[in-house]
């Protein structure tokens, strides 16, 4: 797999032209199972083949149980400068229910271990909206991260994917279904607790201390081009989107033959503007109608404003200086609002 990843990095080097690489992100699975030497080698191959900024943000998604003392010491020797740690919860019973490999003690110690090694740029993930999580437990999880002085927190509502064990258990009555009102209330608690602690809510699921936003995530929401390496990885160059085959064996076999196994979708104007609406509305910067006129078509603004009217009346959306943002209550309905604002193609 590592050899295949290296081959793809080299084969894809012309995808974004001469654009400088500002962020490198190891994620989308369990990259922390790779050794520090393997990660370092992949970073080296990237810097050898792409114009990488000297100040590039290089993030490693890590499971707490992978961050043992020896691993953290070894990671200090390579250019990784940011960690995304999948904490999810500090409660033992919750982690077992989620079928996580780490325990509550490792959830706490992994953060301290990374901090003690000198890494300050850390984000941690938490999950809310599942049956075991009372509001009191949810506040405890949030306050635990606040006390650990984590500068960035990402938090997501529990979702049930089709054809998973959890979906099957719920269908058979062996597990309680997710409770939407509970998720909504815990999202409100999330906003209140973190904003009170000095975090800025800069994207629906992301909070950061001032100046500690994720460059990688911010670029994605602003529509910056990106290259995805590995099975199932997606890439975007502004005009098309492509994605690799998800099967590991097929991926490796193709790359052994120096071929990238991918499918591609050429984006229509409608695709591009609706994607901008979806991503921009999730951020505190909001959706810029002037940008819509410049990048797409000025007539789209009348469609958007007409569809926006009910949400302005409910005070779910706010418009200031041609920029649309969501109110605190509106953030509870972000996906619904975005879908209602999607435009139809104009000749």
What is the residue-wise DSSP string for 219-280? Answer: HHHTT--B---STT-EEE-SSEEEEE-S-HHHHHHHHHTT---EEEEEPPHHHHHHHHHHHH
Three-class SS of residue 83? strand
Same-domain pairing of 329 and 201: no
Q: Tell me: the pLDDT tens digits for 310-333?
A: 999 999 999 999 999 999 999 999
Evaluate whether residue 13 is within a structural domain: no
Evaluate whether residue 302 is within a structural domain: yes
pLDDT at 167: 67
Structural domain including 293 reads 269-341
User: How many domains is the chain partitioned into structurally?
Assistant: 2
Same-domain pairing of 198 and 284: no
Rounded CA Rg of the chain:
21
State the Cα–Cα distance between residues 46 and 6, nearest whole angstrom. Answer: 8
Evaluate whether residue 155 is within a structural domain: yes
Q: Tell me: the pLDDT tens digits for 220-229?
A: 888 889 999 9
Q: Write out the H or E segment, with its range, that includes residue 169.
A: helix 165-171
Who contacts 90 (Cβ-Cβ below 8 Å, separation ≥6)? 104, 107, 108, 140, 141, 144
Same-domain pairing of 54 and 129: yes
Q: Tell me: the pLDDT tens digits for 187-220?
A: 999 999 999 999 999 999 999 999 999 999 899 8
**Maximum separation of any 2 CA atoms in the chain, in Å:** 60
Residue 289 has pLDDT above 80, yes or no: yes
Residue of 154, 93, 148 whose CA lies nearest to 125: 154
- In the structure, what pLDDT confidence band is assigned to residue 164 with cuts at 50, 70 and 90? low
Evaluate whether residue 11 is within a structural domain: no
Evaluate whether residue 304 is within a structural domain: yes
Same-domain pairing of 194 and 275: no
pLDDT at 329: 95
Q: What is the mean pLDDT of residues 47-64?
A: 95
Report which of residues 223 and 347 the model is more confident about.
223
Lowest mean pLDDT among 20-34, 157-171, 279-293, 329-343: 157-171
- In the structure, what pLDDT confidence band is assigned to residue 178 with cuts at 50, 70 and 90? low
Report which of residues 260 and 298 the model is more confident about.
260
Same-domain pairing of 279 and 217: no
Residue 69 has pLDDT above 90, yes or no: yes
pLDDT at 163: 65
Chain-wide mean pLDDT for the chain? Answer: 92
The CATH number linked to 296 is 1.10.10.920
pLDDT at 166: 65
Q: Tell me: the pLDDT tens digits for 129-149?
A: 999 999 999 999 999 999 999
Same-domain pairing of 197 and 114: yes
State the Cα–Cα distance between residues 188 and 335, nearest whole angstrom. Answer: 16
Q: What is the mean pLDDT of residues 219-244?
A: 92
Q: What does the angle CA 258 – CA 261 – CA 266 come to, to the nearest 5 degrees?
A: 125
Q: Write out the H or E segment, with its range, that includes residue 153.
A: strand 152-157
Q: What is the mean pLDDT of residues 104-125?
A: 95
Same-domain pairing of 286 and 209: no
Same-domain pairing of 170 and 293: no
Adjacent-strand bridge partners of 320: 323
Same-domain pairing of 337 and 200: no
Q: How far is CA 257 from CA 4, 8, 130, in A?
A: 10, 11, 45
State the Cα–Cα distance between residues 253 and 250, nearest whole angstrom. Answer: 5
Q: What is the mean pLDDT of residues 239-244?
A: 94
Q: What is the mean pLDDT of residues 110-134?
A: 95
Q: Write out the DSSP string of 20-58.
A: PEEEEEE-SS-GGGS-HHHHHHHHHHHHHHS-EEEEEEE
Same-domain pairing of 217 and 273: no
Evaluate whether residue 71 is within a structural domain: yes
What backbone phi and psi angles, to 5 degrees, belong to 158?
-60, 130
Same-domain pairing of 168 and 274: no
- Does this model's pTM top 0.85? My answer is yes
Residue 335 has pLDDT above 90, yes or no: yes
Evaluate whether residue 116 is within a structural domain: yes
The residue whose two tokens read 């707490």 is: 64
Pinpoint the alpha helices (H) of 57-134: 69-75, 92-97, 104-116
Q: Which long-range contacts (CB under 8 A, 24 or more apart) does 43-49 make?
A: 43/78, 43/79, 43/80, 45/6, 45/9, 45/10, 46/9, 46/21, 49/9, 49/10, 49/13
The residue whose two tokens read 């607790």 is: 193
Residue 121 has pLDDT above 70, yes or no: yes
């Amino acid at each position: 797999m590592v050899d295949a990843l290296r081959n793809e990095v080299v084969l894809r080097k012309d995808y974004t032209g001469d654009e400088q690489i500002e962020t490198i992100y190891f994620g989308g699975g369990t990259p922390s199972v790779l050794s520090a030497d393997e990660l370092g080698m992949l970073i080296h191959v990237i810097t050898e083949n792409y114009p990488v900024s000297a100040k590039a943000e290089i993030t490693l998604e890590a499971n707490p149980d992978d961050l043992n003392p020896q691993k953290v010491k070894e990671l200090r020797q390579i250019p990784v400068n940011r960690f995304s740690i999948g904490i999810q919860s500090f409660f033992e019973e919750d982690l077992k229910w989620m079928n996580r490999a780490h325990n509550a003690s490792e959830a706490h110690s992994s953060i301290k271990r990374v901090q003690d090694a000198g890494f300050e740029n850390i984000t941690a993930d938490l999950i809310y909206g599942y049956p075991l999580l009372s509001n009191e437990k949810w506040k405890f999880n949030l306050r635990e991260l606040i006390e650990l002085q984590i500068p960035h927190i990402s938090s997501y509502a529990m979702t049930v994917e089709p054809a998973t064990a959890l979906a099957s258990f719920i269908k058979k009555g062996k597990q309680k279904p997710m409770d939407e009102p509970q998720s909504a209330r815990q999202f409100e608690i999330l906003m209140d607790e973190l904003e009170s602690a000095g975090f800025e809510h800069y994207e629906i699921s992301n909070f950061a201390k001032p100046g500690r936003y994720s460059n990688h995530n911010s670029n994605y929401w602003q529509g910056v081009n990106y290259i995805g390496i590995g099975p199932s990885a997606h890439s975007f160059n502004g005009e098309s989107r492509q994605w690799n085959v998800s099967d590991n064996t097929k991926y490796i076999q193709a790359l052994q033959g120096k071929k990238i196994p991918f499918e591609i979708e050429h984006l229509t104007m409608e695709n591009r503007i609706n994607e901008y609406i979806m991503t921009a509305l999730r951020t505190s910067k909001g959706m810029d109608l002037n940008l819509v006129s410049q990048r797409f078509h000025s007539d789209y603004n009348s469609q958007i404003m007409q569809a926006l009217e009910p949400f302005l009346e409910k005070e779910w959306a706010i418009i200031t200086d041609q920029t649309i943002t969501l109110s605190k209550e509106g953030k509870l309905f972000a996906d619904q609002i975005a879908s209602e604002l999607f435009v139809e193609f104009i000749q």
